Amino acid sequence: MTETLPGAAIPNPTDEAAITAAVDQAIAAIAGAGSLDELKAVRLAHTGEKSPLSLANREIGGLPKDQKAVAGKLMGSSRGRVNKALADRTAELEAENDARILLEESVDVTAAPRRRRAGARHP
């Protein structure tokens, strides 16, 4: 279920501007996710097998040896930035979700419990 983003071209792994633009687009989408489900869809779109960054990472294999190291460092740091943004946003959304659940499921322990009579009616 990993699809390439609409209109997204495979960035050249040696083109720092294109990689930075793809990373900035991913970070903006991550920040815009309002729920854990939306974040999952964003994660798949920007870090999945057919995401622009993953496709650019695959292109490193076809580069000359002198360019592979530079492209590898650039792609590694780019993926690190996206993964950090994902981890941070996941933590934020999980904290919001936990707080919402605690509010919804709170129980007033100071309220008097309903008491039942001991025994039962004789038929």
Assigned domain for 45 exists: yes
* pTM of the shown model: 0.74
Residue 1 has pLDDT above 50, yes or no: no
Residue 96 is encoded by which pair of tokens?
Answer: 């919001």
Per-residue confidence (pLDDT) for residue 113, from 0 to 100: 75
For 12-31, write each residue's pLDDT tens digit. 888 889 899 999 999 999 99
With H, G, I as helix, E, B as strand and everything else as coil, classify residue 114.
coil
Assigned domain for 42 exists: yes
Compute the average pLDDT of residues 52-79: 90
Assigned domain for 109 exists: no
Compute the average pLDDT of residues 30-53: 92
Q: How far apart are CA 71 and CA 15, in angstroms?
A: 8
Per-residue confidence (pLDDT) for residue 8, from 0 to 100: 59
Mean pLDDT taken over the chain: 86
Assigned domain for 31 exists: yes
Assigned domain for 1 exists: no
Instruction: List % helix, strand, coil for the chain (3-state, nearest 5).
Output: 65, 0, 35
Question: Locate tokens 């699809």: which residue?
Answer: 3
**Is 63:52 a contact under the CB 8 Å cutoff?**
no
Assigned domain for 115 exists: no
Assigned domain for 119 exists: no
Assigned domain for 121 exists: no
Domain total of the chain:
1
Range of the domain at 63: 16-104
For 69-88, write each residue's pLDDT tens digit. 899 999 999 999 999 999 99
